[in-house]
């Protein structure tokens, strides 16, 4: 099983994929009724040309499917790439799919992202969003403990509501939302994956989603190493 652990309890798992770097090459060459059976230097040059000149449709014939377990705050940032993919890909129809677990139907034990004492970050000096340098361990540990207490209170109220007969879709209102882990399947074209990576591997992206982007990159490299090298704007 191809899986990368992320944060304290999260992960990214490669569920399935369709294609390889060779898929990109053959999609580009189909108009000439040509097909490669093994990636050659000529094929690599073609991938570089396609990426450099913005001929992106061949990269949409390669597909990756991931299972992701991440805090809700990460999921909601990620979701923007699905909403915008139809416009970005220029196809009129999205090549992304997203199916997420719902607490309307399941009552599995809630799990929450809890930063350790040395993982809290300060506010940035010159920006209204993002974060700055790590804060002191003493202050961080204080807020770790306070967060754990807050989570415990929410879980207690959630479980009591279920016991009292409140439906799961309303009882979940008591759960602290942003740090709660959710699970989803993300299926996307190689081009969409690279668009996500180009933005979320940047140094100014939220650190938590950067860690998930790194996991996506590592899991994608074995099949699409050449294409990733060319479609990503820089070495991450």
CA dihedral 99, 212, 57, 92 (to 10 degrees): 40
Instruction: State whether residue 204 is helix, strand or coil.
Output: coil
Q: How confident is the prediction for the chain on average, in pLDDT? A: 89
Which residues touch 197 (CB under 8 Å, ≥6 apart)?
A: 213, 216, 217, 228, 232, 236
Which residues touch 224 (CB under 8 Å, ≥6 apart)?
A: 19, 20, 21, 24, 62, 190
Per-residue pLDDT of 72-91, as tens digits, reads: 999 999 988 775 555 444 44
Per-residue pLDDT of 151-174, as tens digits, reads: 999 999 999 999 999 998 899 999
**What is the dihedral sign for C-alpha 200, 201, 205, 210?**
positive
Burial of 62 (0-12, 13-18, 19+ CB in 10 A): buried
Task: Tell me the percentage of the chain whose pLDDT exceeds 70.
Answer: 90
Statement: residue 235 has pLDDT above 90: no
Topology of domain 3-105+180-231, CATH:
Gyrase A; domain 2 (3.30.1360)
At residue 87, the pLDDT reads: 45
User: Could you tell me the two tokens for 60?
Assistant: 């949409």
From residue 98, alpha-carbon distances to 42, 62, 79, 94, 187 in Å are: 36, 17, 8, 11, 7
**What amino acid positions are annotated as catalytic residues?**
200
Per-residue pLDDT of 175-200, as tens digits, reads: 999 999 999 999 999 999 999 999 99
User: For the stretch 218-230, what's the b/e string if a residue is b when 16 or more beta carbons lie within 10 angstroms of its beta carbon?
Assistant: ebbeebbebbbeb
Statement: residue 30 has pLDDT above 90: no
Per-residue pLDDT of 85-127, as tens digits, reads: 554 444 444 567 878 777 666 667 889 999 999 999 998 887 7
Statement: residue 234 has pLDDT above 80: no
* Tokens 């699409």 belong to residue: 224
* Tokens 């668009």 belong to residue: 195
At residue 34, the pLDDT reads: 73
Q: What mean pLDDT do residues 58-71 have?
A: 96
At residue 157, the pLDDT reads: 97
Instruction: Break the chain into its structural domains and give their ranges.
Output: 3-105+180-231, 114-178
């Amino acid at each position: 099983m191809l899986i990368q652990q992320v944060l304290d309890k999260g992960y990214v798992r490669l569920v399935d994929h369709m294609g390889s770097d060779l898929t990109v090459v053959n999609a580009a060459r189909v108009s000439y009724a040509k097909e490669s059976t093994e990636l050659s230097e000529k094929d690599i040059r073609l991938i570089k040309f396609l990426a450099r000149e913005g001929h992106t449709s061949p990269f949409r014939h390669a597909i990756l499917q991931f299972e992701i377990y991440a805090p809700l705050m990460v999921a909601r940032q990620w979701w923007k790439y699905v909403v915008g993919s139809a416009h970005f890909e220029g196809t009129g129809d999205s090549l992304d799919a997203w199916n997420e677990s719902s607490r309307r139907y399941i009552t599995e034990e809630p799990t929450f992202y809890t930063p350790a004492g040395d993982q809290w970050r300060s506010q940035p000096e010159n920006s209204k969003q993002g974060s700055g340098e790590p804060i002191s361990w003493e202050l961080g540990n204080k807020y770790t403990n306070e967060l754990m207490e807050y989570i415990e209170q929410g879980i207690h109220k959630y479980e009591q509501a279920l016991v009292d007969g409140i439906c799961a879709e309303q009882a979940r209102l008591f759960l602290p939302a942003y740090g709660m882990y959710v699970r989803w399947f993300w299926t996307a074209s190689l081009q969409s994956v690279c668009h996500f990576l180009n933005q979320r591997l940047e140094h100014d992206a939220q650190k938590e989603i950067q860690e998930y982007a790194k996991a996506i990159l590592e899991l994608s490299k074995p099949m699409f190493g050449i294409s990733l090298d060319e479609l990503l704007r820089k070495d991450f």
